Structure 1
Amino acid sequence: MSARDALVVCADAALTFGRGPTAVVAVHGADLSIMPGDRLAVVGPSGSGKSSLLHLLAGLEHPTSGTVTRPGLAGRTDIGLVFQADSLIPALDVAENTALPLALAGRPPAQTRRTVSDALALVGAADLADRLPEEISGGQAQRVAVARVLAQEPRLILADEPTGRLDHATGARVLDALLAVADHTGAALVVTTHDPAVAARLPVRRVMRDGRLLARENTADIADTEDCS
């Protein structure tokens, strides 16, 4: 594949918050290309700039220097986002939360119901369809968030510390669901994490330190992040 096939390309992309002496550089000149089918873990301690980099990839933030282009994506609907924080709408049940992106896109109700049912089944949450977010656990809520991404059928899935608030076993199930969704849809998957065990589940790993995306994997650096969560 060539650069023309890339979903997202960061070229010397930097992100700075604020101005003058109080300015904070969250990302220093990152170079990164995400290709179709990629499975990438961006590893680093809290505050290393992982989330800021993910926001640049998603278009939630614009680079203060350098560029971020998305040659392989038609628009925001091609990007599915999974965050560490709770993202379900409290007033909607699990099925309605999963259906939300489809409803906003104007999908026919019958098609939406089938898609939602299939998505919840794939992540092992079919029995939760009529429950409210307050009636399910944090791990279940994350699996529902993954199902919502699946229903959207994106070309790129960006997951920001999706297991960060979960115990090891629950986090493993959420990661299983993310990988299953990426395999099912053929989407590229980028996961930020401070957990070496999570990073080890993805074939390509990049370390982030002090806002700098290192050129290649360094297993010692990845191991060091275990003490920096």
Structure 2
Amino acid sequence: MDAPDALGSTAVRETGTPLVRCENAARTYGSGPGAVVAVHGLSCVISPGARIAVVGPSGSGKSTLLHLIAGLDRPTAGRVSHPGLRDESESLARHIGVVFQGPSLLPPLTAAENVALPLRIDGVPEDEADVRAGAALESLGLEGLAGRLPDELSAGQAQRVAVARVLARGPRLVLADEPTGQLDRETGRQVLSVLLGAAEELGAAVLVTTHDPRVARELSVCWYMADGRLIQPDSRTAGPTGPLRRHRGGERR
């Protein structure tokens, strides 16, 4: 494997194997009359290099789908597999970076320590982890905040640190749940631009959930969710349950 750069980037060999495959995946919470179906049986594929926006109103199942893809939750029916991300020597989490919608920084750690922590857990030497954390913070214009604790950051600054933490690890798939939801328009545009630019350098696929059409337009493919289903909004766009559509290395069906 090629040596990583400051952000942990390595050359990714395109094999054509999907990174993630969902096959009739569904997620139900609870049982009996009170059961809630968050995601109905759906099928989709995320391939290397994909740039996907998942749009829909609050409660449509976007976050649940993201958690299923990330392996943070398991389907109650159907299957979610990661054929292009499995490695005998590394865990699935090593290859997937998740930017959560809510606060996710550890309060006792500085911004730089929060960014470096996953790298150290991965076994990256301390000095290298610190360099990669610093580079990720700098890429988001946060180098001046490296020594601050989370409660000394604004909500927008904290979200940008969370993005830096994901990028520093050099994942092959970046999943971002409403990454610009707490940011003003200009800061949100900057964060999304840096996220997509870093993903390009890393050779990583990107899936972003959003209700903002401006964010969705920055990605090459849009999936629509409503009432826990991936739907085809009109005949001009092949939805995830419609005909196969290829795009920049990603595909959906």
- Assess same fold via TM > 0.5: yes
Any residues of structure 2 matched to 1:1-229 within 5 Å, and which? Answer: 5-74=17-86, 75-215=92-232
Unpaired runs of 5+ in structure 1?
Answer: 221-229
Q: Which whole-Å deviations, capped at 9, do the CAs of 1:178-227 have from their partners, x for residues lacking one?
A: 2122122111000001111111111100100100011467899xxxxxxx
User: Which moved further from structure 2: 2-11 or 24-33?
Assistant: 2-11
SS in 2 for 1:213: strand
Runs of 4+ off more than 2 Å: 215-220
Kept in 2: contact 1:11–1:31 (CA 8 A): yes
Q: Which whole-Å deviations, capped at 9, do the CAs of 1:136-158 have from their partners, x for residues lacking one?
A: 22222111111111111111010
Cα separation, 2, equivalents of 1:217 and 1:70: 30
Cα separation, 2, equivalents of 1:218 and 1:161: 27
Cα separation, 2, equivalents of 1:185 and 1:217: 34
Amino acid at match of 1:6: P
SS in 2 for 1:192: strand
Provide the alpha-carbon RMSD of the alignment: 1.9
SS in 2 for 1:159: strand
Deviation at 1:170, TM superposition (A): 2.2
**What's the TM-score once normalised by structure 2's chain length?**
0.82
Kept in 1: contact 2:21–2:43 (CA 8 A): yes
Kept in 1: contact 2:53–2:210 (CA 8 A): yes
**What's the TM-score once normalised by structure 1's chain length?**
0.90
1:168 and 1:201, CA in 2 relative to 1: closer, same or farther beyond 3 A? same
Deviation at 1:52, TM superposition (A): 0.5
